[in-house]
Amino acid sequence: MADLNINFAGIKSPNPFWLASAPPTNMGPMIERAFDAGWGGAVWKTLGEPITNVSSRLASLDQGALRMIGLNNIELITDRPLEVNLKEVYECKKKYPKHAVIVSLMVESKREAWQEIVKKSQDTGCDGFELNFGCPHGMSERGMGAAMGQVPEYTCMVTEWVKEVSNLPVIVKLTPNVTHIVPPGHAAQKGGADAVSLINTINSVMGVDIDTMIPYPNVNGMAAHGGYCGTAVKPIALNMVSELARDPEFNIPISGIGGINNWRDAVEFLLLGAGNVQVCTAVMHYGYRIVEDMIDGLNNYLDEKGFASVNHIIGKSVERVTDWGNLDLNYDVKAQVNNEHCIRCNLCYIACEDGAHQSFRFHEVDGKRYPYVLDEECVGCNLCALVCPSPGAITMKRVDAGGPSESWRDRTSGK
């Protein structure tokens, strides 16, 4: 079996699967059960000044029978006393010395406040800190969370404050609620961060009860925007992770977060530059034991691909991500219908006719009506293959001669 041990920014853990700072890491006994299940590390639910949470605080996006493909929350940081949390951090780390125990922190934007809580927290024996500059609701209205992360200068400043008194690795958790993730990443690195984690949750309103006309989640007839997470945010998270990973000036580790449900999701983050992954919503849905399949799946994948260590796949796909202007304009694919797998539902025709390039027609084969593709009209957009419910019925076949590539930048530069 492959070696799953990692050293992330100086923090060692038996595998790259960590729990994100969230309800599943709210207290010591929970994290201890998670470690027993197989999780390699955990980021404690964010500590800070005492707060009061509201009820209710969660709402979900469902798709037919699929529950919680997206989750919205308006929960704030821990509402448990700081002293109780710190005692449990100490006890947890003492019981599980080989697992990563990270303390997430968020306080008001004052040097003395940050440095005081850092000093108290590092006495617990924790392995490092995660600075929560990402929370988009509640705390941001108080000048914390995303209010910090959206201003690179503040991100750099607070990171410097922490590094002045911290002798432990510092991870800066970035907010996705920005137009470009690279400047906040650079700011964290400039401030002395040992790593970054991303993404935190995305500003959202989950929906409205059209009978009562009250948005979700309902707090005594009112609602507020919250943070969006879960399966649906994975593409956004992968993009932001890869943006930082391929930036030539960014050179600190990345912890990938957002929509990770299984080992395949985790591998995608690792391939795009994440040094480990953090999971929250999937655990809230299915429980801690999902890590068992994650560990087995990752082990089998690494063995199948011939990698001796999980560290050998980190960033393997980064060089495959580029800007649109560098893509090959000469590469050409066309859709093809395989009648043996076609169930004649005609979704390909409908999608192409009303939503794409009118490339499908019908013909009769052995007395049955099948769709076929007009090559001269097909632009290779993939829509038909994406809507097709029958595996193998539609494939995309390369039809260009495979000659020299030419990008938009090549054409505009006269190359």
Catalytic residues: 135
Residue 100: is it exposed, middle or buried by C-beta count within 10 angstroms (0-12/13-18/19+)? Answer: buried
For residues 53 and 75, what is the distance between their CA atoms, to the nearest angstrom? 6
Q: Are 287 and 34 in contact (CB under 8 A)?
A: no
Q: Are 173 and 140 in contact (CB under 8 A)?
A: no
Tokens describing residue 299: 């082990």
> CA of 258: how far to CAs of 62, 229, 268, in Å?
17, 6, 11
Query: Would you give the DSSP letter of residue 324?
Result: G
For residues 327 and 381, what is the distance between their CA atoms, to the nearest angstrom? 15
Answer positive or negative: Cα dihedral of 11, 132, 189, 253.
positive
Tokens describing residue 161: 């404050």
Residue 284: is it exposed, middle or buried by C-beta count within 10 angstroms (0-12/13-18/19+)? Answer: middle
Instruction: List Cβ neighbours of 254 (8 Å cut-off, separation of 6 or more).
Output: 195, 196, 197, 198, 241, 244, 245, 273, 274, 275
CA atoms within 13 A on the CB side of 318: 19
Amino acid at 412: T
Report the DSSP pairing between strands 276-279 and 17-19: parallel
Query: Would you give the DSSP letter of residue 174?
Result: P
Q: Are 153 and 187 in contact (CB under 8 A)?
A: yes
Strand partners, 390: none
Query: Would you give the DSSP letter of residue 221?
Result: T
Name which of 267, 247, 269 is nearest 258 in CA terms. Answer: 269
Amino acid at 92: C
